[in-house]
Amino acid sequence: MIFDILTIFPELLDSPLNESILRRAREQGQIRIETTDIRDFALDKHSSTDDRPFGGGEGMVMKADVLQGAVNHAREQNGPGRVILLSPQGRAYTQAVAEELSQQEHLILVCGRYEGVDERFRATCVDEELSIGDYILTGGELAAMIIVDSVTRLLPGVLGCADSAERDTFSRGLLKHPQYTRPRVFEGQDIPEVLLSGNHARIDEFRFLASVRQTLERRPELLAGVSFSAAEVKVLKQHGLHGQIMALQSESA
Ligand code: 9D3
């Protein structure tokens, strides 16, 4: 998979792309990441990448002609690709979108800065606009890193079995249960007794209930999309949790 990242601050991307799993995926050739400095495609003697908005007002707008030059360069280098603009106006990025993007061969990620990009660039060159959440960043670069990180770990062979993608928080829509390691007692707090029992059926049930309780407390809206087996429903009923969950699931239906 090829990620082309178009930015006016290519150095901002260096350290996240050169450590840990992303570094290994690059070294093993599972991903290729190329950064393009948008400024290299500026057309005037000052190398401008932005200009004042028609109609007046605060802030600067990234120039459509310059951005188009950078996108065309990425296409010439690496072939056609899906052009994604990172912006606060985008569709919400989720694990489902990550899974969809992981099926593509070439993503061209365009990082905005300033107040935004010229609407005609969006209309003619952009396939999809994505936001990573409802908070304000200084630009799209860190959002692009989040997309590279979350898509890369879904590619076949990138994760070892120890960190397999299916066992994660979002794979079944519940938050992960709390975990413990040595020392057994920390700050006067012992670990739950059941974890020392060696009874794996009891441990699985304890962890399942801890996941459900944690999700109810912190992210109840996630429970709307979770389905439970008959055996799980029985456990939820035994612990008085079934009613609450049914209420959350029917709210959204
Ligand atoms: C004053 C209006 N702001 C729009 C909500 C202006 C503005 C704020 C921040 C324009 C650009 C930015 C920079 N942010 C991004 O480029 C960005 C972003 C974000 O701020 N939040 C969540 N996802 C993303 S993806 C790109």
140 lines ligand 1 (CB under 6 A): yes
What CATH number did the domain enclosing 70 receive? 3.40.1280.10
Residues 19 and 100 grouped into a single domain? yes
129 lines ligand 1 (CB under 6 A): no
The alpha carbon of 88 and the centre of ligand 1 are apart by a number of angstroms equal to: 4
Residues 7 and 103 grouped into a single domain? yes
What pLDDT digit, counting tens, does each position of 101-148 carry?
A: 999 999 999 999 988 999 999 999 999 999 999 999 999 999 999 999
* 105 tagged catalytic: no
Candidates 232, 244, 235, 96; CA nearest to 170 is 96
Tokens linked to 129? 């606009």
* Residue 9 CB coordination number (10 Å): 15
Flag whether pLDDT at 77 surpasses 80: yes
Domain for residue 124, yes or no? yes
132 lines ligand 1 (CB under 6 A): yes
Q: How many domains does the chain have?
A: 2
pLDDT of residue 251: 85
Please indicate whether residue 198 or residue 163 has the higher confidence score (pLDDT): 198
Provide the total of helices (H) and of strands (E) in the chain, helices listed first.
10, 8
What residues make up the domain containing 129? 2-152
What CATH number did the domain enclosing 192 receive? 1.10.1270
- Among residues 130, 152, 174, the one where a domain terminates is 152
7 lines ligand 1 (CB under 6 A): no
pLDDT of residue 170: 64
Domain for residue 173, yes or no? no
Domain for residue 158, yes or no? no
Residues 11 and 118 grouped into a single domain? yes
d(CA 147, CA 155): 13
Average of per-residue pLDDT across 167-191? 89
* Top mutation candidate among 136, 141, 142, 147 for ligand 1, by most atoms within 8 Å of CB: 136
Tokens linked to 89? 């106006």
